[in-house]
Amino acid sequence: MASMEFTEWIRGRTDAQLRALVSARPELITPVPAHLEGLAGRAASPSAVARALDRLDRFTLAVVETLAVRETPASKEELRALVGAALAEGGPEPALSSALDRLRDLALVYGPDDALDLGPGVRKVLDDPAGLGPRAVEAFRHHPPEQLDEMADDVAPGTEGPGKERLAAALSEPGPLVAEVSAEARGALDQLAWGPPTGRVPNARREVRVASARSPIEELLARGLLAATGEESVTLPREVGLYLRGGRVHRDLRATPPPLEGAGRDRALAGRTAAGQAFTFVRAVEELCERWSVDPPGVLRTGGLGVRDLKRAAGELDVPEWVAALVIEVAHAAGLVAAGGGVDGEWLPTQGYDLWRVRSTAERWVALAAAWLHTDRVPGLVGERDDRDRPLNALHADLRRASAPGVRTATLGVLAAAPGLAPSRESVLARLEWEQPRRRGPLREQLTEFALREAEQLGVTGLGAMSAHGRALLEGGDAAAALAPLLPEPVDHVLLQADLTAVAPGPLTSELNRWMALSADVESKGGATVYRFSETSVRRALDAGHGAEELLGVLARHSATPVPQTLSYLVTDVARRHGRIRVGTASAYVRCDDPALLDQITADRRAATLRLRRLAPTVLASRSSRAALVDSLRAMGYAPVAESLDGDVLISQLDSRRTEGAAPVRGTSTANGLDPEVAAAAVRALRAGDAAHLARREPVDAPDGRLPRGPATATISALQDAIRQGVRVWIGYLDSQGNATSRILEPARMEGGYLTAYDETRAAVHRFALHRITGVAGL
């Protein structure tokens, strides 16, 4: 009956109210039900109810629990009195009215203000609401009838009827029974009064009478003030718990969230600090992808990134390992890094990285921050161990936690609620516990700490306070526009110095940064980045296919000072020697137009391990691989280059290696719930389907008498006439077992030996094989 009332209540909601329902609970329209009755049934399912309850704050959940304790609907006035008695301070309004409006929007509570009740399925999902145990009837349902009769005789002498009912009636007013027990027994009851209502005692199912009770526990068991639910477990009946609470359902309840405590921050300073962190994070992702383009790490056999590769990345980026793991995971979540590169696999930048790199810094940060916010991977778990004591590596599949995106969003929501404040960790955890009391546990606390730490590192927060661009990211606004004015302007010049160093007075443009990373090594970072040119770094630029004149020309155009003579000499000298020696594949060979230089190599003792053999005046052969031979000759001070089988020089480029990567996952809902257009379309479909559902015709009985029979030609002709005229007919039909049945049909069409018609005897559309129709008669 309650289910029918709930369905009619759903049907009576306005379109705006239905849109609010499906927006707040998008799982109800995945997929869209056929009609509103189906929507009501799905809204009452245990999984859907549990999800909705998980979204409630402490006060709103307390309103639900207060209704759940009652067996009958309650008026708003009664609810106001019950909730008001539980408040630690203040009154229940206007929080109670707001809570009821939200519960109606979620379809967890329905009915008018004078008869409020919980939706179907809510009471079943709530285990021990407000820390109260089951009702006496439920608590004693597994006790033997004989034992219940004896207990009822002790606590309610002179009454008649089944023992369970008499015992439940006595426990509905447990005051006299509680007054009879000793102080020790009353102390045990007080410990269970405010929950949890269960406890453990040995031999809980012992049979004991009031007269024979010897211990405090036996006093309670004999009077039914405790009910045995197992061999060593007992529970406090709900009626007893409410009596011990003085009729209150909750205690020390708060109608408003606890205030956030922490240090105040200047908003402008916090925004600039966050912008600096955002810029640094974007550059770290870019540097990682550039390095992995040239020297990609391998994919572990079990998946993920090796510990040594993570340490190497941390050293190259000059950050702690947990920050390196965050950079790698966010790049992967944004679709910039993926596994590829052959049988064993390597972690390589994707083609999406090239598209990401040419965008503005603010847009690049938004892509990274949005990927972090929505990903279900938890970078903070890198380095910890799983249940089997195996290490959790970066990029491993075991880093997924379904609750991670929700925890990040909720944590940032708490920070956004206190602009200009850097709340303490304890304050944030207390607020989240009030906002989502059903979502608690060690993992949630850990995920919250990760979210706070990572938000600061990404630049969502600055000095612990939410930034303006972070708020825009959370609320779906234009975060790039909010961040762009705060970012440092990139410079397009460096200061070349005579000691083979170059000073970048600020963040370089993307193109100049790539040139400097190619031709020089970073010596120090800070307000100004110092690069150092060396023979190795210059050779790296030459290996990438750039000539000496081109390199010096780029440096001259982008230097605020003249190119020092020492740097010109270094580039010219390395270029003069670069490529004179060619290394190919024999296993490997060395080719040089100057036989004297090959004489010098063969005479060098360090070349003994290469096992070189002279094939011609200008050619040496080796059993080593081409790569090993090139590395060995470079270590000996020469400048060889690798060449192909056709004799062409092999050029290594920084961006030469890419892989196909999956598109980054994006959230399907906005910060306020489901997309409004999707919600409106779903409501229109539900209304149309419900109208068709209500307009369906009920089954009718077939006429009595002999089934129609006739020749096949006459049958087909009669059916064709019925289709043209749109009239109903009575047919005889043989089912798959050969049994004759009677049907009333409204034929629609005939094709391929089948008749499609609306079967009024079944109230559904069916297809009928023409050869099974015995005959047709009119109605």
Residue 118 · residue 106 · CB < 8 Å:
no
Segments in 466-594 forming alpha helices (H)? 468-475, 479-483, 510-519, 535-543, 548-557, 565-577
Q: Can you give the pLDDT at residue 343? A: 60
Least confident of 575-584, 592-601, 675-684, 728-737: 575-584
- Of 24, 182, 36, 38, the residue nearest 108 (C-alpha): 24
- Arithmetic mean of pLDDT over the chain: 86
Q: How much is the average pLDDT of 193-205? A: 88
Considering the entire predicted model, what is its pTM? 0.72
State the maximum Cα–Cα separation within the chain, in Å, rounded to a whole number: 123
Strand partners, 494: 559
The answer, yes or no, to whether residue 523 has pLDDT greater than 90, is no
Q: Can you give the pLDDT at residue 660? A: 67
Let me know whether 340 and 447 are in one domain.
yes
Q: Can you give the pLDDT at residue 700? A: 55
Q: Could you tell me if residue 432 is inside a domain?
A: yes
Strand partners, 491: 508
- Mapped onto helix, strand or coil, the DSSP state of residue 366 is helix
Last residue of a domain, one of 127, 150, 166: 127
CB-count burial class (<10 Å; 0-12, 13-18, 19+) for 135: middle
Residue 109 · residue 119 · CB < 8 Å:
yes
Q: Could you tell me if residue 505 is inside a domain?
A: yes
Q: Could you tell me if residue 673 is inside a domain?
A: no
Let me know whether 311 and 454 are in one domain.
yes
pLDDT tens digits for range 424-481: 999 999 999 999 998 877 888 999 999 999 999 999 999 999 999 999 999 988 999 9
Let me know whether 423 and 276 are in one domain.
yes
- Of 464, 451, 466, the residue nearest 419 (C-alpha): 466
Last residue of a domain, one of 594, 626, 642: 642
Strand partners, 298: 346
Measure the CA–CA gap between 432 and 572, rounded to whole angstroms.
64
Q: Could you tell me if residue 653 is inside a domain?
A: no
Q: Can you give the pLDDT at residue 341? A: 65
The answer, yes or no, to whether residue 113 has pLDDT greater than 60, is yes
Strand partners, 495: 503
Confidence bin at 327 (pLDDT 50/70/90): very high
Residue 132 · residue 222 · CB < 8 Å:
no
Q: Can you give the pLDDT at residue 560? A: 85
The answer, yes or no, to whether residue 772 has pLDDT greater than 80, is yes
The answer, yes or no, to whether residue 587 has pLDDT greater than 70, is no
Q: Can you give the pLDDT at residue 314? A: 93
Residue 334 · residue 284 · CB < 8 Å:
no
Let me know whether 431 and 548 are in one domain.
no
| CATH for 717 | 2.30.30.100
Q: Can you give the pLDDT at residue 655? A: 42
Would you tell me how many other CB atoms lie within 10 Å of the CB of residue 739?
A: 8
Q: Could you tell me if residue 674 is inside a domain?
A: no
Residue 336 · residue 697 · CB < 8 Å:
no
Confidence bin at 49 (pLDDT 50/70/90): very high
Q: Could you tell me if residue 634 is inside a domain?
A: yes
Let me know whether 141 and 162 are in one domain.
yes
Q: How much is the average pLDDT of 48-74? A: 92
- Name all contacts of 621-626 with Cβ < 8 Å and 24+ positions apart: 621/586, 621/587, 621/588, 621/589, 621/590, 622/586, 622/587, 622/588, 622/589, 622/590, 623/587, 623/588, 624/587, 624/588, 625/587, 625/588, 626/583, 626/584, 626/585, 626/587, 626/588
Count CA within 13 A, CB hemisphere, residue 626.
15
Let me know whether 410 and 505 are in one domain.
no
Q: How much is the average pLDDT of 352-359? A: 88
Q: To which H or E segment does residue 192 belong?
A: helix 183-193
Least confident of 207-211, 325-329, 392-396, 543-547: 543-547
Let me know whether 299 and 448 are in one domain.
yes
The answer, yes or no, to whether residue 81 has pLDDT greater than 80, is yes
- Mapped onto helix, strand or coil, the DSSP state of residue 471 is helix
Residue 707 · residue 776 · CB < 8 Å:
no
User: Where are any strands of DSSP class E within 593-678?
Assistant: 613-616, 619-622, 641-642, 669-670, 673-674
Q: Can you give the pLDDT at residue 670? A: 39
Segments in 417-467 forming alpha helices (H)? 425-435, 442-458
Q: Could you tell me if residue 551 is inside a domain?
A: yes
- Mapped onto helix, strand or coil, the DSSP state of residue 16 is helix
Residue 299 · residue 346 · CB < 8 Å:
yes
Last residue of a domain, one of 589, 617, 642: 642
Q: Can you give the pLDDT at residue 108? A: 94
Show the tokens assigned to 106: 């979620």
Confidence bin at 264 (pLDDT 50/70/90): very high
Let me know whether 374 and 267 are in one domain.
yes
The answer, yes or no, to whether residue 311 has pLDDT greater than 60, is yes
Let me know whether 91 and 39 are in one domain.
yes
Q: Can you give the pLDDT at residue 582? A: 66
Would you tell me how many other CB atoms lie within 10 Å of the CB of residue 24?
A: 18
Let me know whether 270 and 392 are in one domain.
yes
Percent of the chain with pLDDT over 90: 35
Residue 700 · residue 761 · CB < 8 Å:
yes
Task: Report the first-to-last Cα separation within the chain, whole angstroms.
Answer: 39
Strand partners, 529: 504
Confidence bin at 626 (pLDDT 50/70/90): confident
The answer, yes or no, to whether residue 671 has pLDDT greater than 50, is no
Phi, psi of 165 (to 5 degrees): -70, -40
pLDDT tens digits for range 232-255: 899 999 999 999 998 888 988 989
Q: Which residue range(s) make up the domain with 546?
A: 495-576
Identity of residue 130: A
Confidence bin at 50 (pLDDT 50/70/90): very high
pLDDT tens digits for range 681-717: 988 988 888 887 777 655 555 566 678 888 888 888 8
Q: Can you give the pLDDT at residue 667? A: 43
Q: Can you give the pLDDT at residue 510? A: 74
Let me know whether 267 and 190 are in one domain.
no
- Cis omega (within 30 of 0) for bond into 505: no
State how many domains the chain has. 6
Q: Can you give the pLDDT at residue 654? A: 44
Q: Can you give the pLDDT at residue 662? A: 58
For helices 510-519 and 548-557, give the axis angle rounded to 10 degrees: 130
Q: Could you tell me if residue 240 is inside a domain?
A: yes
Measure the CA–CA gap between 436 and 419, rounded to whole angstroms.
21
Let me know whether 401 and 276 are in one domain.
yes
